[in-house]
Structure 1
Amino acid sequence: GVDPNTGVVSFVRNPVIPVCTPAQAAALNPQDQCSTGAITVFSGGASYRYEALQVKLDKRFSSRLQLTASYALAKNTGFVAVTQYDNNALNYGNVGTPRHTLTVSGVYDVPKFGGNSLLLRGLLNAWTVSFIAEADSSPPLDTMLTGLDLDGDGISTTLLPGVSSHNLLGQGLSQSELRALVAQYNASVEARTRTITHPDGTQTVIRPRTPFNQIISPIVLPAKFSNWDSFFSHDFRLTRRIKIKERATLSLIGEVFNLFNVANLTGYSNVLNQPNYGQPSARSGQAFGTGGPRAFQVAARMEF
C-alpha cells in the first residue's frame, strides 16, 4: 500500500506462490505449494552484429613516398545491459563503435643532397619522415536512469521511457529529441506529484514512488551535454640513419604523439538522473601514447 500523507510504499505484496512457513521451509517437501525465496532464472541469447563498409587506398613506395588511407563506415549492435525482463529488445542497442573512422599513414625518404660540401651531405642525407593520423567520429551515449525500478521487475536501472534501445544519443537520437522525451517524463512526474498543506501553512511535496519505494524526481539536464567526443591524433617520426661500418647502421629517432594536443575527451556519464549527464571526466590515453596529451620521445637503434 501507499501512505497518502508521505507516498511511502509499504512493500506489502501478494506473492504468486505463498511463502513457506518455518516448518515447511525446514521440511523441504517438494509437494508443499510454497516458496522458500527468490527463484533464479538463467537465459541465453546475447548476440552481436558488426556491419561495415571499408575503403582502403595504397600508394606503393615510389618516388621516395608511400601512403595508405583507410576509411570505415561501421555499425555495431548487440547486447548492452539487462534493463527489462519482459522486452528483451530493450536490452540491446549500439555497442559504442564510432560511425566513421579514418586512418592515414605515410613514409617519405628525403632526397639526397647532391652538393659538393661534405658537411652538408653528412647533415642532410639519410633522413626519413613518417606519420600516422587517425580521426574517429564520436560514439553514441546511453540514456539510463539508475536507482529507479519504474516497472517493479527488480531491476533498478532502466532506459528513459520512450527510448527504444541502448546508446542512441548521437546515433539515432538527437539532443532536441532527448530533451523532448525528458520533458514528457518530467510532465508525467509532475502530474503524479501532490502538495500537502499543513495547518501551520507549510507545504510538503509528495513525489511519486516506484514499487520499491524509490522516489521519482524530475530530470534536470545540463545546459550543455554531448555524446562523447570525436577522436583526433597526429603522430610523427623523424629518423636519421648513420652508417658506421659496412654492416652497422645507427638510427636516431625523434617522435611526437598527438602533435596538435587535441583533448580527445572521454568518460562521459550516461546516467540521466545525475547532474553530470553527458559531461566528460577524463582524456583519452591519460598515459603516454597516441591520442593522449602531446608527448615527445627520442630513441636510438643499432642494426648490425
Structure 2
Amino acid sequence: MSCDTSARAYCTHIGHQIAPILGMAPPEARAVLLELHELATTRVEAATPAQRSGRTTAQNRLAAARARAEDAAAAEATTALFAEMRSMQPPIPVPSHGEIDPATGLALPKPAAQHGWRAVYETVQAARAGRELPDLAREIIGAFRARSTSTPDAVARAALARMPSLWTTANTTASVGSADAVAETQDLAATAAQLDRRGVAAELREAAVAFREAMQGGGVAFRMARRNLAIAVVTAAGVDRCLACGRYVELDGAHTCPAEPVAAAIPVMEKGTPDRLTQEALAPHLHALSQAPFFPEPLREAVRNSSWQRGWGKLARQLRAHYEQIGQPLPSRAPSKAPA
C-alpha cells in the first residue's frame, strides 16, 4: 500500500476517534491530520542540503546534528504509529517501502515522510491524553477554522456532519417521501444555495443548480437531482469510495462491500444458473450493486439481467474481468459454496 493511501486510511479511522476531542466533525479532523502529514513532510523536504548534511560551516553542522536527532525521533514515532496500524481490528496495511527491519517487521519510508507520520502520531497522542497539541497542529487547526465557514469543501463537510443520511442517499435510490428524507431535502436546499456561487467547482455547482431547479417539479428528475447533489456533496467532503463496488464508505472505515460475496460466488455463476438458495443469498448483494453510484454501467445492466436465461454466466465473466482489472481478490474457478 502506498504512503498516501495508508495515511488516508489511518487519518480516516483516527479522525473519527479524536474529532470530539478536537471539537470538529470527523471529516474535518481527517482533513486536519492529512494536511498535518503533508505539511510536516514538505517542510523537511524543503530544508537546504547544507542543513541536512553538515558539510559547510560550524553553524550548519550543528543544524545537521539537530536534524539527525529529529530524524531519529521521527523514525521512532513512525515505527510506533505503524505498529498501531497493524494492531487495529481490522488492521490498516502499512506502506510498503524498502528493506524490512527484522526487529520490528516494518519498512520505514524516506526520512521526510517519517516526519509527516511523526507529526500525526504526536498530535493523536496529545489529543488522546488531553495535552496541548503540537504547534504545527494548532497552526493548521486555526487556519482550518478560519476558512471553514466559506470554502465549498467546508460547506460539504458541514452538510455531511448534519446529514449522515447523505451516505445512503448517495449510495442508493433512497425514498424521498419519508419524514427523514423531507428533512434531508430541506437541508440540501440550504446547502445548494450556499454552493450556487462563483468559486465553487463546476461539477459541485452544477449539481446544486440542477437540484434547485428540479425541486419544484418533483418526480424522477427531482429524485435524480437529489441523489446527484448528495453524491457531489459526499465527494467534496472527502469521503472515499470502494473500488470494488463503487459505493461510498463510512468515515470510520467500516464498509460492508456487496461485491465481496458476489465475487465469492463467481465460480458458481460461471458454471450456469445457480441453485435457488444461492440466488436468494446473492439477491440483496446484487441489488446493492445495481444501485451503486459508480458501478460501471455495463456491469450494472448485467446485474439487472442476471436472473434471465444465461444471464448468470455473462455476469460472472464480466465481474471477473472487472475485479481482475481493479485488483479485487477472487477465488479460483473451482466450484464455490453459496455466500452467507
- With normalisation by structure 2, the TM-score equals 0.22
- With normalisation by structure 1, the TM-score equals 0.24
